[in-house]
């Protein structure tokens, strides 16, 4: 994805009033890592994360002619709105993702099952974790890193920078590309998801804590009494 790439070009400085000399500095273009090296680098980056907590800001925008989403999920929320909330993940396969503004929605994975709970609708969707791996980018931060090579082609546009683009090998997957960028403390700072419906989701992370202690109960979800449960 080109949004995170820096375009480097020649910069010319002129000293017109002091001397008839033009100095030109040319910066070399970024050198991309090979697919194998990019995959190895990403796996190492993710393997250092055993648990993670962060606040997030998420915006999903639809391109012209995009289809309306058919399922709820991290990419199936209201278009052109910014959602804020908190995320917590722990390996293997556990995460908690809750939007708090402008509306509330909770997504919880226990390792085998994913719950998507909408309190306004009094509705909870229950799905297999395996079915949701491609639809929930946050699972990349809590899943089995050894499966990355099997499921995705990984590119690293600049081998000197810690941002990667993942392209699913399964053409029928829920997203077409996922770019993830890492910042200080090897923590993720940004995710950009282009899904199969023509929607682009930006997720910015802040107040990130790497390998904090997270209570196991965080990843347990019991639907409140009276909730309509939908199995998918």
Tell me the pTM.
Answer: 0.75
Domains of the chain in start order, with CATH, are 33-231 (2.50.20.10)
92-125 pLDDT per residue, tens: 889 899 999 888 999 998 888 889 999 999 999 9
Q: What is the average pLDDT across 39-67?
A: 85
Instruction: Give the dihedral sign, CA 106/214/202/47.
Output: negative
- Higher-pLDDT residue of 70, 209: 209
pLDDT of residue 220: 93
Helix (H) or strand (E) holding 14: strand 11-14
164-204 pLDDT per residue, tens: 999 988 777 667 899 999 987 788 999 999 987 888 999 99
């Amino acid at each position: 994805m080109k949004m995170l790439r820096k375009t480097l070009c020649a910069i010319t400085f002129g000293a017109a009033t002091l001397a008839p000399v033009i100095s030109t500095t040319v910066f070399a273009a970024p050198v991309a890592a090979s697919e194998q090296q990019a995959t190895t680098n990403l796996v190492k980056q993710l393997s250092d994360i055993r648990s993670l907590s962060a606040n997030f800001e998420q915006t999903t925008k639809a391109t012209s002619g995009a289809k309306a989403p058919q399922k709820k999920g991290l990419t199936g929320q209201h278009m052109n709105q910014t959602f804020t909330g908190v995320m917590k993940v722990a390996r293997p396969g556990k995460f908690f993702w809750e939007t708090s503004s402008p509306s509330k929605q909770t997504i919880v994975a226990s390792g085998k099952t994913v719950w998507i709970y909408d309190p306004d609708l009094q509705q909870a969707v229950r799905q297999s974790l395996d079915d949701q791996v491609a639809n929930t980018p946050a699972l990349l931060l809590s899943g089995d890193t050894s499966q990355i090579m099997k499921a995705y082609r990984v590119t690293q546009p600049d081998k000197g920078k810690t941002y990667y683009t993942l392209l699913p090998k399964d053409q029928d997957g829920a997203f077409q590309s996922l770019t993830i960028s890492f910042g200080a403390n090897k923590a993720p700072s940004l995710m950009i998801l282009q899904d199969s419906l023509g929607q682009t989701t930006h997720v910015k992370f802040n107040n990130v804590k790497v390998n904090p202690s997270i209570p196991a109960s965080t990843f347990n979800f019991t639907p409140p009494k009276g909730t309509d449960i939908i199995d998918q």
